[in-house]
Amino acid sequence: MPRESVLLKVCHLYPDLLNLYGDRGNVMAFVRRCRWRGIGVEVVAVDLGDEVDFREMDFLFLGGGSDREQGLMARDLVRRRECLREAIEDGLVVLAICGGYQLLGRYYRSADGRTIPGLDLLDFYTEAGASRLIGNVAVEVVIEGERVKVTGFENHAGRTYLGRIAPFGRVLAGHGNNGRDGTEGARYKNVFCSYLHGPLLPKNPRLTDHLISLALRRRGLPAELTPLDDGLEAAASEVMLRRLLGPGKA
Amino acid sequence: MRVLLAVLAGKIVAWLVRFLKRGRGSSLPGLVALKIHPRLLSHFVRQVRRGVVMVTGTNGKTTTNNMLARMVADAGLRAVVNAEGANLVTGIATAFIRAASWRGRIFCDYALLEVDEATFPRAAAQVRPGAVVVTNFFRDQLDRYGELDRTVALIRDALADLENVRLILNADDPLVAQLAATGHAATFYGLGRHAEVSPTSTAAREGRFCPFCGHALTYDYYHYSQLGNFRCPSCGFSRPRAQVEGEGVFAGARYSRCRLRYPGGTQELVLGQPGLYNLYNALAAFAAGLFLGLDPARMAGSLSSYLPATGRMERFRCGEKPVLLNLVKNPTGFNEGLRALLHLDPPVDLLIALNDNDADGRDVSWIWDVDFEMLEGMQERINLIFCTGQRGEEMAVRLKYAGVPLGKIVTEGRMEEAVRGVLRASGSSACLLATYTALWPVERILCRYAQRERAPEGLPSLS
């Protein structure tokens, strides 16, 4: 079914500021996979100080940056908190990666013991660790009742501990949230948080399509998607799963 | 006694590596010798007659250092050089071991050392260089260094700890130019305004903010990435005046040229390599040469006949087909490599070899910061794109999302097959781009099917 008349609004927060580790690839993947199916998409880039109403958006991407950039973004987001909270409660589809993920929680406790408040939208907190958790990761994620293996690359000093909130997935290989409890990321309503770079969405098309479906459903539109040829993505994922989990487990 | 043992062990390892044909042995002898004598570098450096120059920064280290080595050699002076990008402490030690006698004696005027950014603090503390060249800072292999800010801070702190050192700094890069605040005497080099400057920068910009006060920098123009004529509207930090400046810049398909202005004169410079970044490398080497007291006219001559090191825009010929081989290791360099496609005879077949060993960067997500989207605008110029290496499949995914049609993407895990494939494909020319550890295997295979072009032919005469 051609759906050019549909126009999903993709909000890319601070694209100039938070462009570490190729995370902009997440926005590219969402947009491409919509357009390949004839679903119209518009990307709205929001910079520091710009006006935006998150409730009008269909997909929000929040990436990570260096410490300085992260500080700038936190200051800017604090004044938008209420608007973001309402949108999230209303089912806005959000992908928050690494620093963007940490920011949605209650607080970040730095190595020197200072507590930096988060937006307190989701029930988790993060503490700085002595070493960075770095490496390739495989996570098992449940998408629409089906177990899917998701791959990516983590690189974070923060250890995140979840409160009353579900993880994004279960670690099969790698460190995940804190290297201890086997959880990776967090999930609340249509908000997906993860430490995985890679970037996450282009490498994991099942997840991307799930986010697109959720966005369509929130608008009251039919959410079944035309299947695409994902041979290249599957091959790339298999290479990493075989390396991390051994042959036969991919 | 310990020195003798260390040098002997290093030399034996070097000989064994060569005898067994196990790689090129540009690091292992140093690794072994340093295990025996951790302060071995200081022992060697004391014997260098005139002084040590270190070259660091993200891109252009190898080329700049090799250009400087060429100028020093042409001046009839002897130098120890760590060639081939072996730029960790082990590689530096290996270079000295190779140059040393069996008794650990070194007879040379200079040591010219390119040094990895993360290694710089440790190497500088041991070597105490007389001059340090800093080329530029771009985002590079983040999982190895942490974020760029930290890399720059590491080098700044290491420089602050040195005494009696001359800095040779890129005036156009705010992240580099700020290093003059360490208080050392500095020579700046840079490019003047020219026809190709851009009012905007499309690349992922690292130096967006003033390193001193954090305010966003403003630019009159950009050369590329964050290199340009910058100024901080808040604290007044701005591009310093360059003592060595390239004027009347022309960066063409097969060569680049400019007029070098320096205190006391000008020289015409013609390089057998394309691209603004090669002009930057030449300016850096020239500025360092001036500090060493080399003759400017002779330096310009050395630069004009300089041939690039392996994989730095090296030209080959496979039958009639021109082939370009280039090392890619970060988004800025990769973008430059892709732009070179515009100068090749279309249609071009492309090979990209992506590995994810430590030296390549274990996190391959950096390929998403490369502007592959530019390929969409030159689709009719491109025939096939072969993706190979440990993460070739990942590369194929990147191309797909850049809008490259699936029919043009060939994933071939076997490197031999991939190189043969790109050479046999129907295009008029071929371009091979490889990350660090993929470069040597690709080159080895390429050399079986293609001839290296030796003389930089077709350069315009200076007269």
Q: Is the pLDDT of residue B455 over 60?
A: no
Backbone angles phi, psi at B292, to 5 degrees: -80, -5
Cβ neighbours of B409 in A, within 8 Å: 232
Q: Is residue A228 in a domain?
A: yes
Measuring CA to CA, how many Å separate A116 from each of A64, A82, A179, B203? 16, 19, 22, 32
**pLDDT for the residue A178:** 97
DSSP secondary structure, B338-384, as one string: HHGGGGSPSSEEEEEE---STTT-S-GGGGGGS-GGGGGGGGGGEEE
Provide the percentage of residues in chain A whose pLDDT is more than 90. Answer: 78
Q: Is the pLDDT of residue A122 over 90?
A: yes
Classify B425 as helix, strand or coil. Answer: coil
Q: What is the pLDDT of residues B59-74, one digit of tens each?
A: 999 999 999 999 999 9
**pLDDT for the residue B461:** 41
Q: What is the residue whose two structure tokens read 């590329």?
A: B224
Q: Is residue A2 in a domain?
A: no
Q: What is the pLDDT of residues A146-181, one digit of tens each?
A: 999 999 999 999 999 999 999 999 999 999 999 999
CB-nearest partner of A199 from B142, B368, B409? B368
Q: Is the pLDDT of residue B462 over 50?
A: no
Q: What is the pLDDT of residues B122-149, one digit of tens each?
A: 999 999 999 999 999 987 655 444 578 8
Q: Is residue A230 in a domain?
A: yes
**pLDDT for the residue A1:** 47
DSSP state of B200: S
List domains and CATH numbers for chain B. Answer: 2-304 (3.40.1190.10), 314-452 (3.90.190.20)
> Number of structural domains, chain A?
1
Q: Do B365 and A21 touch (CB under 8 A)?
A: yes
Measuring CA to CA, how many Å separate B27 from each of B31, B91, B360? 6, 4, 16
**pLDDT for the residue B457:** 45
Q: Is residue A59 in a domain?
A: yes
Candidate from A95-109, A143-157, B442-456 with smallest mean pLDDT: B442-456
pLDDT tier, A113 (very low <50, low <70, confident <90, very high otherwise): confident
Q: What is the pLDDT of residues B81-109, one digit of tens each?
A: 987 678 888 899 999 998 998 888 999 99
Look up the CATH number of the domain holding residue A56.
Answer: 3.40.50.880
Q: Do A153 and B143 touch (CB under 8 A)?
A: yes
Q: What is the mean pLDDT of chain B?
A: 89
Q: Which positions in chain B have a beta carbon within 8 angstroms of at least one beta carbon in chain A?
A: 142-143, 146-149, 204-205, 208-209, 214, 362-369, 390-391, 393-394, 396-398, 400-401, 403, 406, 409, 411
pLDDT tier, A19 (very low <50, low <70, confident <90, very high otherwise): low
Q: Is residue A1 in a domain?
A: no
**pLDDT for the residue A204:** 97
Q: Annotated catalytic, A197?
A: yes
Provide the percentage of residues in chain B whose pLDDT is more than 90. Answer: 61
Is B426:B348 a contact under the CB 8 Å cutoff? no
Which residues have a Cβ under 8 Å from the Cβ of A206 and sit 6 or more positions away? A143, A148
Backbone angles phi, psi at B117, to 5 degrees: -60, -40
**pLDDT for the residue B194:** 86
Query: Domain range spanning residue A236?
Result: 7-245
Measuring CA to CA, how many Å separate B338 from each of A15, A190, B316, B372? 23, 39, 17, 8
pLDDT tier, B311 (very low <50, low <70, confident <90, very high otherwise): confident
Residue, of A225 and A66, whose pLDDT is higher: A225
Q: Do B396 and A135 touch (CB under 8 A)?
A: no
Q: Do A19 and B369 touch (CB under 8 A)?
A: yes
**pLDDT for the residue A83:** 95
**pLDDT for the residue A110:** 86
Residue of chain B nearest A32, judged by CA positions: B401
The one catalytic residue in B149, B157, B161, B363 is B363
**pLDDT for the residue B460:** 46
Residue of chain A nearest B361, judged by CA positions: A135
Q: Do B401 and A198 touch (CB under 8 A)?
A: no
Q: Is residue A180 in a domain?
A: yes
